Amino acid sequence: MATIRIPQTDPKAGVLAQRTEIDAAIARAIDGGRYILGDEVASFEREFAAFAKASHGVSVANGTDALEVSLRAMGLPPGSGVVTVSHTAVATVAAIERAGLTPVLADIDAETYTMAPEALRRAVSGDVRGGAGARPVIRVAIPVHLYGQMAAMTEIGEIARSESLRMIEDCAQAHGAALGGKPVGSFGDAAAYSFYPTKNLGAIGDGGFITTNDASLAERIKMVREYGWKSRYVSDITGLNSRLDELQAAILRVKLTRLAAANARRREIALLYDEGLNGVVPTPATRPDAIHVFHQYVIRVPGARREQIRAAMAERGVGTLIHYPVPVHLQPAYKGRTWLTGGALPATERAADEVLSLPMYPELTDAAVAEVVAAVKAAI
């Protein structure tokens, strides 16, 4: 079996690029002596909120918790419907259910892989598959900014306002993206981020974050993340335990200083792929007036040939992954659920059959990108 010389992602490379600063940050956190919600967390919360151009920032243990805590902080009636997409990491749907709410899955736009506004409208209006039990009242929309591409937030925002929906942006794959001059996370009531190691801003472990411009919501988010406490040991509301530790906060502070440059390099790599693969395979579309931060660079290949193409590329030492091979609504744990889907999801199912993620991380050299392009052409 061939050795993979160019992996699909390489979080270690990002750590090594800042190893000296990261080692110093870890030592600083250890020497600080306060390891939960100390100075490193407080500083990182201010710094990331400033990067995201948000008034308030609250760190949590991971990206799934970021969604769950945001939903719980909104105080929604149990079982309320939350519209999101099926072409996403299952964490998005898991968080909805953990918050005691009902996921309703809408189809995606075939070009951008993000929530189709008309599908959101259909889900809210009542065109929802399933017949047993009472239809949930739709109260929240969670558009997912997938692969570094922002969803159609102007249209989605208009629907949310017209239907009196709360909105949480799932920004787990879109740190630093923008649309129409507005930063990702600034369109909804709150925004949830993941710092999983492979993300554009990745920890050396798990981590998550919530931004909002609503001071009262920010206060409730802080309470929910730590047992519902406003003052220590007194739970004013029910909450949970979801805290970013000092070591991860210290590491993330270092890596945040390089995030804008890393995103710029991702866009350079994407341009090289675009030029090299033009006319060979369908390449990613970028929404007009948007800054795409290319968490993934995703091509499309015929489903029947995808595994053959992956194998051929692996023989040349090039790694690939599929984000994501099985839509949530077709996974064993969710298949057949009442009220699960807002109508048929043809674009979602076709994407799951065809998408293929090429190597994408800031440390990729131009020479490595050329090798990937050659491997794609040879495999095709």
Contact 95, 84 (CB under 8 A): no
Profile the chain (380 residues) by mean pLDDT over runs of 10 residues.
Answer: 93 98 98 96 98 98 98 97 97 98 96 97 74 78 98 98 98 98 98 98 98 98 97 96 98 98 98 98 95 98 93 98 97 87 90 98 98 97
Sign of CA dihedral 68, 74, 75, 80: negative
Residue 275 domain boundaries:
1-380
Total domain count, the chain: 1
Gap between the Cα atoms of 241 and 116, Å rounded: 34
Residue 131, pLDDT score: 45
Gap between the Cα atoms of 1 and 360, Å rounded: 23
Residue 1, pLDDT score: 63
Could you give the strand order of the β-sheet that contains 81-85, starting from the edge strand earlier in sequence? 56-60, 208-212, 190-194, 166-170, 138-141, 81-85, 102-106
Q: For residue 226, give the CATH number of its domain.
A: 3.40.640.10
Residues pairing with 194 in the sheet? 208
Strand segments (E) across the chain: 56-60, 81-85, 102-106, 138-141, 166-170, 178-179, 182-183, 190-194, 208-212, 229-231, 234-235, 290-291, 297-300, 355-358
Gap between the Cα atoms of 327 and 229, Å rounded: 37
Residue 176, pLDDT score: 98
